[in-house]
Amino acid sequence: MATLIPSMIAAISAIAAPASPSADATPREVVSAFFEVVRSGEHPELAERYMAPKVAAHQLTSEGQLTIIRTPGDYAEHVRDFQRLFGQFEVHVDEMIAEGDRVYVRWHQAGHHLASLDGEQPTGKDLTDIASAVYRVSDGRITEYWIQSDRKGLEVQVAQRASK
């Protein structure tokens, strides 16, 4: 019995944790798996399987571009922040286009307003975030991305739901 338990735990862990992308995975396969496993909130702790040790994250806004360096651990915490803000959210990939080492993804994320985004009181009501990004993949890992998010859309939704 004592030897059976460790093997059962190993078997359950293998089922619960998705495999890393293979060394010959295409950039599209890497980014698609990243969305399914990490960005979805299912397993943010597995970000190191899909991301390089340091990733240049270019945040594109009309005010300008801000580049931050994210580690897989930073990214996992970023996804956990979304979970605190939106609860158990759903990510729906609306479009994915791959060319060479780059993959464009447009998605929307649906959840609930459970924590303050900008000092307001959480409403608990539905919120949808729309975003898109271009990911650069090298050696089977995401090494860089350029992201745009509809911040104004979130602001308007929060204001509308707070007034109802």
**pLDDT tens-digit series, residues 20-31:** 777 789 999 999
pLDDT of residue 55: 98
pLDDT of residue 161: 76
Beta-strand (E) ranges in the chain?
A: 51-61, 64-70, 90-99, 102-112, 126-138, 141-149
DSSP reduced 3-state for 125? coil
The mean per-residue pLDDT over the stretch 48-55 comes to 98
162 pLDDT above the threshold of 80: no
5 pLDDT above the threshold of 70: no
Distance between CA atoms of residues 164 and 159, nearest Å:
9
Sequence-distant (≥ 6) Cβ neighbours of residue 2 within 8 angstroms: none
3 pLDDT above the threshold of 90: no
> At residue 22, what are phi and psi to the nearest 5 degrees?
-70, 160
pLDDT of residue 24: 85
User: Given pLDDT bands bounded at 50, 70 and 90, which one contains residue 12?
Assistant: very low
Ramachandran bin of 153, using left for φ above 0, alpha for ψ from -120 to 50, beta for the remaining angles:
alpha
Distance between CA atoms of residues 71 and 69, nearest Å:
7
9 pLDDT above the threshold of 60: no
- Strand 141-149 with 51-61, pairing: parallel
Identity of the amino acid at 6: P
38 pLDDT above the threshold of 70: yes
CATH of domain 24-107+132-149: 3.10.450.50
**Do 73 and 47 touch, CB atoms closer than 8 A?**
yes
Cα first-last separation, the chain: 59
The mean per-residue pLDDT over the stretch 31-58 comes to 97
Residue 153 burial (C-beta neighbours within 10 Å; 0-12, 13-18, 19+):
middle
Tell me the pTM.
Answer: 0.84
The mean per-residue pLDDT over the stretch 114-140 comes to 92
pLDDT of residue 163: 75
Instruction: Please tell me the least confidently modeled range out of 66-70, 81-85, 87-91, 119-123.
Output: 119-123
pLDDT of residue 18: 67
Distance between CA atoms of residues 89 and 52, nearest Å:
25
Distance between CA atoms of residues 122 and 158, nearest Å:
8
Domain ranges of the chain: 24-107+132-149
DSSP reduced 3-state for 69? strand
